[in-house]
Structure 1
Amino acid sequence: MGEPVRYQVAGALVAQTALLSVLAATVGLGLWAWSAGIAHAVVGAVLLLWSARRSGRRRLGVADGITLTRAVLGGGVLALAVDGGAVWTLVALAAVALALDLVDGAAARRSGTESGFGAAFDMETDALLILVLSAFVALTLGPWVLVIGLMRYAFGAAAWLAPWLRGPLPPSRARKAVAAVQGAVLVVAAAEVLSAVVATVLVASALAALAWSFGRDVLGLWSAARPRAARAPRPVSASART
């Protein structure tokens, strides 16, 4: 990963086109699917280059390269979801992308290259994949499943109106576990190996866990943002002590 960011991003665009070509030759892709996959790659490339320039990042590290691979796989998942067919191919690509999510973080920690840029890139890649999977599952279980994919973006939109939501969050294993569960549950539901009732209960449980996780973080940010005077206990008067 020694090349400048623009060359790495260009390589990802080529890889995305190659993946879409393979999918078109094997399972078939319609025009809308091709358009969605290419749009995903182009918009993602522009945002990545802008983010890298803003953060002063000249090259992508090994962990960022893994995340970039996951983004390419996510483009394939999006194209297949738009096309509406080849469910098992979609499930396979999504499963690999989710599995690699366990690798990029470990690679960053092992190489000592953890950064805010890498964390944001990883988070946005995850969020888009979850949104695509939730939209695909919503076609069979109902539009309520979309809440899983939209919650991250709703939180981001709310942060523009309420700056205190932009505060730093402490590391949390529970938050990471809940996030991982969303992808795993949606992949299982997308595979359509479970009955509609079981799949509905499973996805609803994942949504409830996600709502709890976001709710806990919102309360934590709100508590941290309150003025110290509001958080400090009020002094007890002499008469009250008596």
Structure 2
Amino acid sequence: MSIARDLGTGALGLVIPAALLSSWLEASLPVPLLAMVCYLAMTGLVLTNLPEHWRELGWANRVTLGRGAIVALLAGTLADPDLLARAAVPLAILALLALLLDGVDGWVARRTSTQSDFGARFDMELDAFFILVLCLALLLLDKAGPWVLAIGAMRYAFVVAGLRLTWLTRPLPESRRRKAVCVWQVAALMIALLPVTGTTAVGWLAGSALAALTWSFFIDIRWLHRHASA
């Protein structure tokens, strides 16, 4: 299967759920439009960073692409805060599916011996965008203050800092701690978005996600600084 067909299949996998969402939940037109813009931006980045010799994405990256279509659909709902409020449970189920697929792509890559730097980066950047979407949803629903955006913005602040401090761009060793913190961020933010979660619980959940992420970034930045002259 060619890369163009992979990306087209992913777009089709986005359009159908978006149409169903608009029909069943009476989503406004900006929802599917924003979802498609997010998906097209993602595919643009994929094509820009894809190794030149690749002729297909491979099954692991196809799983990541499918997860990306789900995240793009969730991002589209940010255009309609009323939809976020009245369809919190169905959207939480979609978010849970995206979280579960986060472990599938890595498993497929290991089973098929197709691990790659591109695949790891694709997965990581999609995780970062997914977390930012969940943070924005919490803010739009007035379940948390603007401080919650620090969770979603931290990865992008790190990337911007790396433009000046080039030692921050060095590759990091594999870390289960980093993956566990990512999973907790998504899980905590998803639970915080549920209607049954009160303000106090939201504060503790989002606060713990922010604290864990700050701790994880501190460990990675310290490691990179120590090895900057190596």
TM-score relative to the length of structure 2: 0.93
In structure 2, stretches of 5+ residues that fail to align are: none
Distance in 1 separating the partners of 2:149 and 2:56: 35
Q: How many residues align?
A: 224
Shift of 1:226: 3.0
Deviates more, 1:103-112 or 1:31-40: 31-40
Which residues of 2 match residues 50-69 of structure 1 at below 5 A? 50-52=48-50, 54-69=51-66
- Given that 2:192 and 2:201 are in contact with CA atoms closer than 8 Å, whether structure 1 keeps it comes out as no
> Structure 1 residue 35 and structure 2 residue 38: aligned?
no
> Structure 1 residue 131 and structure 2 residue 128: aligned?
no
The secondary structure found in structure 1 opposite 2:26 is coil
Which residue of structure 2 aligns with residue 102 of structure 1? 103
- Given that 1:131 and 1:150 are in contact with CA atoms closer than 8 Å, whether structure 2 keeps it comes out as yes
What are the superposed Cα offsets for residues 180-221 of structure 1, whole Å, 9 maximum, x if unpaired?
100000000011322211220121011001000001100110
Distance in 1 separating the partners of 2:153 and 2:14: 25
Which residues of 2 match residues 1-242 of structure 1 at below 5 A? 3-52=1-50, 54-84=51-81, 85=83, 86-139=87-140, 140-226=143-229
What are the superposed Cα offsets for residues 3-58 of structure 1, whole Å, 9 maximum, x if unpaired?
11111111111221112111111112212212211101211122112222x45321
Superposed CA RMSD in Å reads 1.3
In structure 1, stretches of 5+ residues that fail to align are: 228-242
Residue 8 of structure 1 aligns to which amino acid in structure 2?
D
Residue 43 of structure 1 aligns to which amino acid in structure 2?
A
Residue 220 of structure 1 aligns to which amino acid in structure 2?
W
What are the superposed Cα offsets for residues 76-131 of structure 1, whole Å, 9 maximum, x if unpaired?
11122321212112111111001110111111111110000101111111111111
- Given that 1:175 and 1:213 are in contact with CA atoms closer than 8 Å, whether structure 2 keeps it comes out as yes
Residue 44 of structure 1 aligns to which amino acid in structure 2?
M
Residue 20 of structure 1 aligns to which amino acid in structure 2?
A
- Given that 1:55 and 1:117 are in contact with CA atoms closer than 8 Å, whether structure 2 keeps it comes out as no
Distance in 1 separating the partners of 2:48 and 2:26: 33
Name the CA shift for 1:129/1:80 in 2 (closer, same or farther; >3 Å).
same
Q: Which is higher, the Rg of structure 1 or of structure 2?
A: 1
Residue 158 of structure 1 aligns to which amino acid in structure 2?
A
- Given that 2:95 and 2:190 are in contact with CA atoms closer than 8 Å, whether structure 1 keeps it comes out as yes
